[in-house]
A and B are shown apart, each in its own frame.
Chain A
Amino acid sequence: MTATQPNTTALSFECETGNYHTFCPISCVAWLYQKIEDSFFLVIGTKTCGYFLQNAMGVMIFAEPRYAMAELEEGDISAQLNDYEELKRLCLQVKRDRNPSVIVFIGTCTTEIIKMDLEGLAPRLEAELGIPIVVARANGLDYAFTQGEDTVLAAMANRCPSEAPAVKETTSEPGQGNAISRLLNFGRKQEEIVADESQYADHPPLVLFGSLPDPVVTQLTLELKKQGIKVSGWLPEKRFTELPVIEPGYYVSGVHPFLSRTATAMMRRRKCKLIGSPFPIGPDGTRAWIEKLCSVFNIEPKGLAEREAEIWASVEDYVKLVRGKSVFFMGDNLLEISLARFLARCGMTVLEIGIPYMDKRYQGAELALLEQTCHEKGTPLPKIVEKPDNHNQLQRILELEPDLVITGMAHANPLEARGIDTKWSVEFTFAQIQGFTNTRDLLELVTRPLRRNTHLKELGWDKLVKSEDAKRVTV
């Protein structure tokens, strides 16, 4: 019993069996192909991979997505067919039909097991076809869900240009070169330069990494601009051809908690300096993130405390709904620590944080903020369970009866039928939850089950499974 109760003094870390539900990391193609507009994602795997993507992506699949399966057949598995020739044939087809600026090969479990040398094949194909080919091994043997993006961005980090192209020379000239470059850039680069340069503090270049919807990119960029911090580039940009310049000594900061490998690639391969900070989720996280960037650049943050207080005041109606309630994270997308920290700040008691993988270095600042938040709010510190075991977790949930369980779709309906409020975790991955501006949207998600079920509670049918079934917790 004591093991299931939240710890009171320090964060505790456990590791269970890894029998948990999550999305396969190849799901990252769903949001990355939308983000990187000139890309094409080729998932090299089996029908199983295809079936997952087709169902997980929902209606997006009907929007002629820039992704496809290179479906492996028996001949490929038994090496009766030549991998190089087969991939070349498919890539030529993709080039003809879609003409992308980059093809991203997503390696899967199958390519791992049959040891298809994608990293070796890619440069040869790239040379022959004249299209950059990026290889990311986003497979279920090694990674969970959002870590797929991490593998893709880590691979892309190597493709970022290492020095700025000689744009400056041409822009200063009124000659023909300028006209062409302006045509290619639609005049964008120049406008920026003219308008902005003076408003920024003098600080070394900063590149942010993590894929976010464009409006959120704009919001966070503007947020930093208010402090005089200039974002030199973003990995990924809207187009592969616009990947940011990364020179040794640049500063980098991650906006997602699941980008350990990308952070490592930035530090080790590109010789950048990583700014470790909490992630800009919730007003508390956003403020801590900005403050950390400011402190690194010796900038005195302006008006952040007021801004945070304003945001909190504007969402008080929602915070009121969760204050004093308890939450249990089953764990499947690695956003859990940041979300738990935010909810603790809202006054919730976090009972357990399940998480697929815990990088204590990359998430160090976030973990510290979580601990600090719990101390400040006087709530018990949660237990962090890496590689959770869903069966054990369900036993703990039935025992603790949390007010809210944040979980995958496999468990959501069965838990609701047992009278336990749930929020589907995957929505946090797709919704816009970062920055000050999106606090309400974030709380909208969290409070939705509570708001709905308050309405229903009076009706008296909160438990909807027969008693003999209620005890069956089969996962």
Chain B
Amino acid sequence: MKLAYWMYAGPAHIGTLRIASSFKNVHAIMHAPIGDDYFNVMRSMLERERNFTPVTTSSVDRTVLARGSQEKVVDNITRKDAEVSPDLTVLTPTCTSSILQEDLENFVERAQLTARCDVMLADVNHYRVNELQAADRTLNQIVEFYIDKARKGGTLPTGKTERPSVNIIGITSLGFHNQHDCTELKRLMADLGIEVNQVIPEKASVHHLKDLPRAWFNLVPYREVGLMTARYLEAEFGMPFVDVTPMGVVETARCIRAIQQVLNASGAAVDYEDYIDNQTRYVSQAAWFSRSIDCQNLTGKKAVVFGDNTHAIAMTKILAREMGIRVAIAGTYCKYDADWFRTQVGEFCDEVLISDDNGAVADAIARAEPAAIFGTQMERHIGKRLNIPCGVIAAPIHVQNFPIGYKPFVGYEGTNQISDLVYNSFTLGMEDHLLEIFGGHDTKEVIHKSISADSDLNWTKDALAELNKVPGFVRGKVKRNTEKFARERQLSSITIELMYAAKEAVGA
């Protein structure tokens, strides 16, 4: 047992559901108790999804506990098949079902006999993998399933597309700024004259997965999701892949050069050097920002970076290499992939922190006393407590991290966004600091004015205590309304009864 207050990566089934619900017309059926379908709420809230999340529960209740699911799971699969005719149904085990040890594979086989859709069991172990690993695995499993199916059916296409083309692998639902990143990557590919063969899993159709091998290469923008699929396609079809995350000016250039190398090895003759040069100097503002006086003022300032592998690595490199900021601590919660993290950030930071314990992260930040933090929502709140500004760079994230405006983190527009994020975080802290030095905002006094001060009315002790229970941001209003109510009735003493009579009367 482990005492845990917070977790950075979710349970395995969340990863599977993120993949399943990213595809078009794929339905997931969770073998889980009532209440485990919280994924639907998150997707509907965070992504402001207009459509119903294609996830249903085949509920595990007392009856299931007593005699097993029996027909229930199979019935639920065939029922969903009839109701919404998905292309694929993914039966998703949860922590509960994995200890029940029911033969879910058998349910899948039986359901496959009656259902028109394909049915598969997500192959993830709840107690061994987390959300990210499960997502990586499930994506690979679905791709493999449809490649095999096409091969058996003899429909697997041969040969490559005429012009250089790419599959972008790993764009998912509930991924940090994934939608914007996807648009930016497509734009980058268009600039480079590369056709996008497929983007998976986001909005992809499983029927087209058999065409994946037609691309010249695969691009895997994120370390966490897609690498397994890329490696499978490499082993199976000799498809090369590029796994350099194009985040930051230097890494974007490195990614483009890797693409150039891959394409030239496949017989294209491309040279992207001019493109990189032009973008870096004149299109992206980030390189210029690094030279500007603004950025000069950040030189040597201390930062702490914490997040998933992809974003924490990229941010560390950007801060240290492109902006001259000192990264005191770079950390990740992807413990299962810690070695990769170390090799990537080793030379760009003073200290590496591998942990999924938010308490340890908070302690490390307090110790380092950075001028700014770049982390998850948890680090943002640690920053609030310590009065240090924080830029959010990775999941876990809140609804404000699903912006409506265009905010990619990858590619050349991404470098602009990141420059703003970094600069704003540091200046915010500096502004606060300066305000404090010069005595603060002159409105500060008013905002914090105490409740009981100079009023001609007499608040009883109880009423005052009751007033203190009112949330701070409306307390002033409640006080004013109550006193107005009392004055109108020429009462000089305010009791609890009077307070609530006033509330009823003014309708506040």
Contacts and interface: CB of A to CB of B under 8 A. Distances in A.
Interface in A70-104: 70-74, 76-77, 81, 86-87, 89-90, 93-94
B35 A145 contact: yes
Q: Is the interface of B mostly helix, strand, loop or mixed?
A: mixed
Interface in B364-412: 378, 381, 384, 396, 398
B507 A440 contact: yes
B57 A19 contact: yes
B3 A70 contact: yes
**Which of B37, B130, B470 has most A Cβ within 10 Å?**
B37
A475 B7 CA distance: 27
B56 A19 contact: yes
Contacts of B62: 141-142
Interface in A425-456: 436-437, 439-440
Interface string A94-116: 10000000000000011011100
26 contacts: A19-B57, A22-B34, A46-B126, A56-B38, A56-B41, A62-B381, A67-B5, A68-B3, A68-B5, A69-B2, A73-B127, A113-B96, A114-B99, A142-B61, A144-B34, A218-B466, A219-B500, A410-B40, A410-B52, A411-B44, A413-B45, A414-B44, A417-B50, A473-B52, A474-B27, A475-B56
Given A412-B44, A413-B50, A51 B14 contact: yes
Contacts of A413: 44-45, 48-50
B450 interface: no
A70 B35 contact: no
B33 A141 contact: yes
Interface of A: 18-26, 44, 46-48, 50-52, 54-56, 58-59, 61-62, 65, 67-74, 76-77, 81, 86-87, 89-90, 93-94, 109-110, 112-114, 139-142, 144-145, 214-215, 218-219, 222, 310-311, 314-315, 391, 394, 408-414, 417, 436-437, 439-440, 464-465, 469, 472-475
A67 B5 CA distance: 7
Contacts of A414: 44, 49-52
A472 B13 contact: no
Contact of A474 (B42, B45, B52, B60): B52
Contacts of B42: 55
B11 interface: yes
Given A74-B127, A76-B1, A472-B51, A47 B83 contact: no
Contacts of B507: 314-315, 440
Nearest to B1: A86
Contacts of B398: 58
Contacts of B112: none
A409 B51 contact: no
A451 to B, nearest CB: 14
B5 A69 contact: yes
Given A19-B59, A140-B35, A141-B65, A109 B1 contact: no
B269 interface: no
**Which of B2, B10, B11, B56 has most A Cβ within 10 Å?**
B2
B3 A61 contact: no
Contacts of B40: 21, 410, 475
B283 interface: no
Contacts of A472: 51-52, 84
Contacts of B45: 409, 413
A372 B4 CA distance: 50
Interface string B1-36: 111111100110110000000000001000011111
